[in-house]
Amino acid sequence: MSTDLRGFLAAYEKANPKEFCRIKNEVDPQYEVAAILTKLEELRKLPILYYEKVKGSAFPVVTNVYSTKKKIATSINIDPKKFREKYLEAVESPIPPRIVTDGPVMEQRIDASEVDLKALPMMIYHEGDAAPYITAGVVLAQDPESGQYNASFNRLMYKGRNKAGIFMTVGKHLHEIYSRLEDQGKPLPITISIGNHPAWGLGALYIGAYGRSELGIIGGLLGSSVEMIKGELAGNLFPADAEIVLEGFVEPHLREEEGPFCEFSGYATGKGLRPVVTIECMHLRKNAIYQDICGGQHREHLVVATIPMEANLYQSIKSAVPTVVDVHVPAPFSLIVSMKKRFQGQAQSAMIAAFSAEMYLKNVIVVDEDVDITDLQQVIWAVGTRTQADRDIIVIPGVRGSSLDPSAAAEGVVTKMGIDATAKPSLSAYAKRNKVPKEVMDRLQLDAYVNLDQL
């Protein structure tokens, strides 16, 4: 199993040629990459897209690497049904990184005076995007007290040759690290790696406790330590086998306009005053591939973000309600939970556990175990037939949520809602569901009564 992006791409293309599409015609990073991906999504096609020629840049672009669970599962050699198990195992048994002194990403280096972000094929995807931006950069930063590394995706807005705006959600880990250093008047050293094995996305999107090393989780997912190089600038680590790495600093007490960008919420949101990164150095492999995750509400973003989120939410809810059956994130800020409810009040316990585990979460619907939570028709049926609003809805105003929720009154401050759509007092005591007796269903052979070919 390869542990870098290009190794994964080569293996996946070989084994699944129909899910890998090389585009030879030149495309414009402004809108055209997004247009091709959008048209394919409309046809329900989600191949990895490898753009060989991108206008104005020497780098080829790959996108849609995370577009299906199958691709991500293949990259770590598991069954797509086993994500929850595998992810929680990696969280519980992380494999620490290994420091190395050299690696493929050290093949080429561009120093401070030469760095020019414009060389990268940064995209504009949708009407309403403020500038070209990097979406698939994994930002690594070190907590100043524990020395522990944090990984996260953070959009980086092109602002000049060696300057980018960075969006760090208030309340998430990277923002906390930045705040701790800013309190001391110090800049935050970061590395940004672009073009990583898919396990990196799963690690960067870990939503659990502050201080857990996502590098260890990535190692756990890969089954071996990630190899990291110590940067010269501030000793910050970066992956030895990334395609492209930027080293830089986020300045303290500096805010400039950032955004808006068309986001995973489905809206152009998040215009505000935000910190700025100064890029000091770039490392890259020979023939480096620029990885992109199409900005906005596309499959790729939703699929990759949902895998760690569902694993973590399941675990958090299970500690409050041991009989939780399944969890599903069908849309931004929303969660559906199914459980075998033993006692009244457990649906509410699950809601509170979920809200505590994931800040972005705003609406939770809890249903009984007889509902397939991946079928939204069934979920709405349960809400329609098992809920009374005055009794079954809890509302928690004034809680920290997503800064990208356009319905929030103050930025990032939202009202959380839980809908208890379980049968009351219990499923067994509730009105019986329509069901033809099983014995009759098993006995009766349809083709003895009906000629199906004629229908």
Ligand X SMILES: Cc1cc2nc3c(=O)[nH]c(=O)nc-3n(C[C@H](O)[C@H](O)[C@H](O)COP(=O)(O)O)c2cc1C
Q: 3 or 154, CB closer to ligand X?
A: 154
- Specify the stretch interacting with ligand X by CB under 6 A; choose among 74-82, 85-93, 110-118, 150-158: 150-158
Q: Which is nearer to Mn ion, 173 or 386 (CB)?
A: 173
Rule CB under 6 A: choose which of 167, 178, 238, 249 binds ligand X: 167
Distances (CA, A) of 182 to 23, 118, 144, 187, 361: 44, 28, 11, 7, 28
Neighbours of 290 (CB within 10 A): 26
Q: Is 67 in the site for ligand X (CB under 6 A)?
A: no
Q: Is the dihedral of CA 396, 402, 404, 410 positive or negative?
A: positive
Q: Report d(CA 297, CA 295) in Å as an integer.
A: 7
Q: Contact region for ligand X (CB under 6 A) — 48-56, 105-113, 170-178, 393-401?
A: 170-178
Among residues 159, 163, 173, 197, which is the contact residue for ligand X, using CB under 6 A?
173
Q: From the list Mn ion, ligand X, none, pick the one residue 37 interacts with, judged by a Cβ distance below 5 to 8 Å according to partner type.
A: none
3-state SS string for 417-429 = EEEECCCCCCCCC
Of 74, 154, 316, 346, the one binding ligand X (CB under 6 A) is: 154
Distance between start and end Cα atoms, the chain: 49
CB of 135 to ligand X, least distance (A): 5
- Tokens read off for 236: 């910050």
* Only segment of 166-174, 183-191, 409-417, 427-435 that touches ligand X (CB under 6 A): 166-174
Of 280-319, which residues contact ligand X (CB under 6 A)? 293, 301, 304-305
- Closer of 65 and 351 to ligand X (Cβ): 65
Within 10 angstroms of residue 437's Cβ, the number of other Cβ atoms is 8
Tokens representing 120 are 């990268």
Q: How far is the CB of 391 from ligand X (least distance, A)?
A: 34
The mark string for 382-411 relative to ligand X (x by CB under 6 A, - otherwise) is: ------------------------------
Residues constituting the chain: 455
Compute the least distance from the CB of residue 179 to Mn ion, in Å.
Answer: 14
Restricted to residues 180-219, the positions that interact with ligand X (CB under 6 A) are 204-207
- Give Cβ neighbours of residue 443 (< 8 Å, ≥ 6 apart): none
Here the tokens at position 306 are 């949902």
Closest approach of ligand X to the CB of residue 31, in Å: 18
Q: How far is CA 450 from CA 327, 345, 436, 442, in A?
A: 40, 48, 18, 16
| Residue 452 DSSP SS3 | helix
Least Cβ distance, residue 222 to ligand X (angstroms): 19
Return d(Cα 3, Cα 12) in angstroms, integer: 13
**Chain positions contacting ligand X, by CB under 6 A:** 135-136, 150, 152-155, 167-169, 172-174, 204-207, 293, 301, 304-305
